[in-house]
Structure 1
Amino acid sequence: MNEITRVLKTFYGYLKRPDLYPELGRKILKNTVNRNNAFKGKEKTHSWAQSKAISQQEAVSRLLGINIAPFRNEFHDVLEKSEQREKECPITMGGPGALELIYYACEYTQAKNVVETGVAYGWSSLASLLSLEKRDGTLYSSDMPYLGQNGDQYVGYIVPENLKTHWKLFRFADKESLPKIFEENQNFDVIHYDSDKSYNGRVWAYNELYKHLRSGGVFISDDIGDNSAYQDFCEKNQIETTVVEFEGKYVGVFIKK
């Protein structure tokens, strides 16, 4: 599918969904008036993240006091089946992230309520759900429909059916999904951000999510090197964050005091 076809298909998808008109307006602004602001501070933050970065294994050990080695053995079968599901999926979405970090953040906090933004295949969702099912907990997820790929039906495709009883999926942009999620639950043990990559989108979401993270809860954000939103947020709130280098990208994580 060429770029023009994808854009037209996405635009038509928005037109058929009046509930997504607010996000359509924001996307138009983001890609025109605010386009240059999306990558604000990228060079500054790349250097900052690079100077602080450690491995996922070291981060989980230092921050949570947990060895991540057992994860792949304990969940070998479910991970193998999910990998097969991804291969069978007819559309392409984002691959696995720092699964051990997400899973052990949930274990460390004995999480019962987790919120994530961004689902795609559902790898991060799977990591949270594998922990949450032990305590009959709930994962609240915000994810935009994949309008340009006819991909709605494949969101969360690799998540096993038996885990979906612990999952509530909100199919809107964050600015519509998060208020709906917060109406259902006010306090969360773990937050995982992996949606709108723009500077303004991140700043808005970080502030909203942080207010609903309990003391002692874990905050995780993917792709923090895209711009300086995460660094600026941490500095503004005097947060000492750990930076994880994972597959050439940077993930931020901290425990709320």
Structure 2
Amino acid sequence: MSEITRVLKTFIGYLKRPDLYPELGRKIIKNTVNRGNAFKGKEKTNSWAAGKAISQEEAVLKLFGLEISAFRSDYAEILKTAEQREKECPVKMGGPGALELIYYACEFANAKHVVETGVAYGWSSLASLLSLAKRNGTLYSSDMPYLAQDGDQYVGYVVPQNLKNSWKLFRFADKESLPKIFAENSVFDVLHYDSDKSYNGRMWAYDELYKHLKKGGVFISDDIGDNSAYQDFCEKNNIETTVVEYEGKYIGVFVK
């Protein structure tokens, strides 16, 4: 699909969904007036993150006092099936991230309520749900429709059917999804951010999510090297964060 075709298809997709008009307006502003904000402070934050970064294994041990080695063996069959599902999926989305970090964050927090932004195939959702299932917990997810790809039916494609009863998926932009989620549940044990990558989008969401994270809960943000939003947020709130380097990207994580 050419870039022009993709943009046109996305725009038509928005026009068909009046409930997404607010996000369409924000997208237009983000890609015109605020275009420079996407990478604001990127160089500064990458230098900062590189100086702090440790491995996923080290982070889980340091923050949660847990070893990560059992995850791949305990859930070998589920993960193998999920990998096969991804390969079969006709729509290409983001691959698995630091699954152990998410799973053991839920274990450490004895999580019953988790919120995530960004779903795609559902790898991070799967990691959370495997832990939540032990406590009859619930995962609340915010994910924008895939307007250009006709990919809505494949969101969460790797999540097994038996875990979906514990999952509530909100198909809007974060600014519409998160208020709906907080109306259903106000305090969360773990949050995982992996949606709007812009500086302004992150700063708004980080503030909102942080308010609803319990003391002792775990905050995780993917791709913090895109701009300085995560670093600035942590400095503004006097948060001492851990930085994880995973497959060449940086993840921020801390216990509130």
Is 1:122 aligned to residue 126 of structure 2?
Answer: no
Q: Which residue of 2 aligns with 1:47?
A: 47
The corresponding residue for 1:96 is 96
Residue 218 of structure 1: aligned partner: 218
Q: Do residues 82 (structure 1) and 82 (structure 2) align? A: yes
> Which residue matches 2:60?
60
Q: Tell me the residue number matched to 2:254.
A: 254
Separation in structure 2 between the aligned mates of residue 174 and residue 4 of structure 1, nearest angstrom? 26
SS class of match (1:141): strand
Measured after TM superposition, the shift of residue 37 of structure 1 is 1.2
**In structure 1, the residue corresponding to 2:115 is in which secondary structure?**
strand
Amino acid at match of 1:108: F
1:32 paired with 2:46, answer no
Normalised by the length of structure 2, the TM-score is 1.00
Q: What is the one-letter code of the residue matched to 2:207?
A: N
Q: What is the aligned residue count?
A: 256
Query: Unaligned regions of 5+ residues in structure 2, if any?
Result: none
**Which whole-Å deviations, capped at 9, do the CAs of 1:143-170 have from their partners, x for residues lacking one?**
0000000000000001000000000000
Q: Helix, strand or coil: the match of 1:116? A: strand
Tell me, yes or no, if structure 1 residue 153 matches structure 2 residue 156. Answer: no
Match of 1:14 in 2: 14
Q: Which consecutive residues of structure 1, in runs of 5 or more, have no partner in the other structure?
A: none
Which amino acid is 1:243 matched to?
Answer: V
**Superposition pairs for residues 99-248 of structure 1, below 5 Å?**
99-248=99-248
Task: Give 3-state SS (helix, strand or coil) of 1:210's partner.
Answer: helix
CA displacement at 1:188 relative to structure 2: 0.1
Q: Deviations over 1:60-103 (max 9, x none)?
A: 00111000000000000000000000000001000000000000
Q: Aligned partners of 1:224, 1:97: CA distance in 2, in Å?
A: 13
Question: Shift of residue 20 of structure 1?
Answer: 0.1
Aligned to 1:148, the other structure's residue is in SS state coil
Equivalent in the alignment of 2:72: 72
Which residue identity is paired with 2:106?
C
- Aligned-CA RMSD value: 0.3
- The normalised TM-score by structure 1 is 0.99
How many angstroms does 1:38 deviate by? 1.3
Q: Distance in 1 between matches of 2:77 and 2:3?
A: 38
Listed one character per residue, the Cα deviations across residues 19-71 of structure 1 (whole Å, up to 9, x for unaligned) are 00000000000000000011110000000000000000000001110000000
Q: Which runs of 4+ in 1 moved over 4 A?
A: none
Amino acid paired to 1:91: V
**Matched residue type, 2:37:** N
Q: State percent identity of aligned pairs.
A: 80
After superposition, what is the alpha-carbon deviation per residue over 1:118-140, rounded to whole angstroms, capped at 9, x for unaligned?
A: 00000000000000000000000
Within 1, Cα distance between the matches of 2:72 and 2:2?
Answer: 38
Give, in whole Å, the separation in 1 of the partners of 2:38 and 2:55: 27
**1 CA distance for matches of 2:39 and 2:179?**
26
CA distance in structure 2 between the partners assigned to 1:89 and 1:37 by the alignment: 33
The whole-number CA distance in structure 2 between the counterparts of 1:159 and 1:62 is: 29
Distance 2:15 2:147 in 1: 10
